[in-house]
Amino acid sequence: MQRIILSWLQADRFFKVLALFTTFIVIYLSLKQPGQEFNPWTFLFFRQDIVLHFSCYFSLTVIYFTALFKYKSAIKTSFLLSFFIGCLMELLQLIPFFERTFDVADIAANFIGSLCGIILIQILFADSLKE
């Protein structure tokens, strides 16, 4: 099974397109004007936007890893890319044009989501990542 997954990851064009598409979706969702919140929710005492930031950047890190799987520093690069995009999106929210608000808690959720993505990758691909 592991060989099948590794051979699938070697076909990286699909994952690079997926990473690009996902990046554009994250940029759009981060900068679009906020809608009317009709029923805010929480998950284990965390606000809905914190949960969404965590899951978004967790997924983004894993997708970047699959796109960069062939490269030697895929783990570090995928973490840095996803965290950089998260910080950039939060900083762009300072611009009044986007009608969004900057929040340090969102950056923390981005960081923790990216870090958890890296931890999951290291657990699942421990044999493949040995140099």
**pTM value surpassing 0.85:** no
- The domain locations on the chain are 47-131
Tens of pLDDT along the chain (131 residues) come to 556 666 666 666 788 888 899 999 999 888 887 666 656 656 666 667 788 889 999 999 999 988 887 777 888 999 999 999 999 999 998 888 878 888 898 899 999 999 999 999 888 876 665 54
Long-range CB contacts (< 8 A, 24+ apart) of 38-42? none
Residue 46 forms beta bridges with which residues? 43
pLDDT value at residue 74? 83
